[in-house]
Structure 1
Amino acid sequence: MSDENLNPLRKKLENLVTEYQQKNDFTGWFEDIYTDALGNPEQVPWAKMQPHPCLENWVKIANITKKKALVIGCGLGDDSEILAQYKANVTAFDIAPSSIEWCQKRFNNSSVNYLVADLLNLDNSWKNSFEIIFESRTIQALPITIRKEVIEAIATSLKPGGTLLIVTRLRDTEDTIDGPPWPVSEAELSQFSEYGYQEINRIPYIDTNNPSVKQALIEYQRN
């Protein structure tokens, strides 16, 4: 996408987030982005139409066959599909119904169980349920004011011994910053340790469209 197209889209996103935050709604704007896109992925700022490269590299060396996997904020489904391709039993959810409809149309023969769900109000049966969780840029898309709740929801969904993969922007300060996105700090990441998580690996990621932005894939194991 050219800068000419990106700037109005970025401005639209920021205006939507502000509008919904004034209503104390931190997630309603996702549906607006998908419905306004009218089937054009170029109007969805985070849609790459391919799996995240870090996840693609990870699945090539991991044994995930028949493991129960969860994709949080699945977007248009590419990350979910590569996990399924490597034989995981995948559940993928997004809060935006239009996102899930889009996934089901794109991958109409998929083995992935695509669902509409709210990360901040997950079914209790999901607690300690999954062996693999993949989260790409969902934490950073939600305000710092609710980060503790967001991390708790993710952390408590993984089985002991399971693997959590996070793709996120990182920030070097604990100061509150403007967003979206709101990159994640080390202190915020340390909250996972409260749920028995240990960081196993951290792989820096460079986005060619934003080479100056600090990003990484972080792999955790829950003890």
Structure 2
Amino acid sequence: MSLVPPNDIRQKIREMVENSQSHPTAWFETLYAESQGDPSLIPWATLATHPQLEKWLENQAIEDNNQTALVLGCGLGDDAEALADFGFQVTAFDISPTAIAWCRQRFPNSQVNYTVADLLDPDPNWLEKFDFVLESRITQSMPLEVRSQAIKAIANLVAPHGILLLITRFRDTEAAPEGPPWPLSEAELSAFKTCGLTEINRHKFVAENRPDAQQLCIEYRKDVF
């Protein structure tokens, strides 16, 4: 395992972002590839289901085995596996081919459909297809100039009456933050509502690895009018 200090990893990521000219999220592949299989070099890779997703699942019941779920920016796959174990038919994607290969290596007998895809240019066959969409710390990893595009793309993936679970850092100002990550503001969160989603639950939480950061878990439903 790596002994690289967290601050050094964050500085390395900032440099990757600054040097990523071809695409605003191309740096993810650079990070995963250069980690050479060491998850400690991936700051968000806990190798466990996100606690907020676990809490959400505790209060749910699958009534239809054909319910579909999509995990955005699935990383190393733990959240996708939790959803599959719960009973969803899961598709999970990441822009990084190395991350997807890593998922398949970690879970060789998985029922999850792991695939390489780009949130900013999603598969048109995914339009309003998924009963449940997990957005865990994805929009916050995108620069502000592409954020509205990302939010619209996410909303378009949720099926009518479907659920979006958003886990994100939050900032209480509209001033542009330093990043990455770039925490979401209240105005940016309101863009999900503009895109046809209704907020049905919101709560703050504290992450053990970043007790200083404001964190939100928000559940949205796509209503049909």
Note the C-alpha offset of 1:196.
1.9
Aligned equivalent of 1:150: 150
SS at match of 1:120: coil
Structure 1 residues without counterparts, runs of 5 or longer: none
Matched residue SS, 1:91: strand
The percentage of counterpart residues that share the same residue type is 47
Which sections of structure 2, spanning at least 5 residues, go unmatched? Answer: none
1:49 aligns with 2:47: yes
Number of equivalenced pairs: 221
User: Any idea what the Cα deviations from partners look like across 1:135-161, whole Å, max 9, x if unmatched?
Assistant: 110100000111100000000011110
Measure, in 1, the Cα distance between the counterparts of 2:3 and 2:107: 30
Normalised by the length of structure 1, the TM-score is 0.96
Deviates more, 1:72-81 or 1:208-217: 208-217
Counterpart residue number, 1:118: 118
Which amino acid in structure 2 is aligned with residue 61 of structure 1?
Answer: N
- Determine the structure 1 residue equivalent to 2:75: 75
Where do residues 154-165 of structure 1 align in structure 2 (5 Å cutoff)? 154-165=154-165
Structure 1 residue 112 displacement after superposition: 0.3
- Aligned partner of 1:100 in structure 2 is 100
Q: Under a length normalisation based on structure 2, what TM-score does the superposition of the two structures give?
A: 0.95
User: C-alpha separation between the residues in 1 aligned to 2:30 and 2:84?
Assistant: 28
What CA deviation, in whole Å up to 9, does each residue of 1:95-149 have, x standing for no partner? 0000000000000000000000000111111111110000110100000111100
Instruction: Tell me, in whole angstroms, the C-alpha distance in 2 between the residues paired with 1:70 and 1:63.
Output: 17
* Secondary structure of 2:5's aligned partner: helix
The alignment partner of 1:177 has SS state of coil
- Please give the secondary structure, in 1, of the residue aligned with 2:82: helix
Deviation at 1:195, TM superposition (A): 2.3
Is it true that 1:25 corresponds to 2:55 in the alignment?
no
Which 4+ stretches in 1 moved above 3 angstroms?
1-4
In structure 1, what is the Cα distance between the partners aligned to 2:4 and 2:156? 42
Q: What's 2:194 paired with?
A: 194
> Cα RMSD over matched residues?
1.5
Taking the aligned partners of 2:147 and 2:10, their CA distance within structure 1 comes to 22
In structure 1, C-alpha distance between the alignment counterparts of 2:203 and 2:101, rounded to whole Å: 32
Aligned-partner Cα distance in 1 for 2:27–2:196: 33
- Give me the whole-angstrom Cα distance separating, in 1, the residues matched to 2:101 and 2:4: 29
2: CA distance between counterparts of 1:40 and 1:145?
Answer: 31
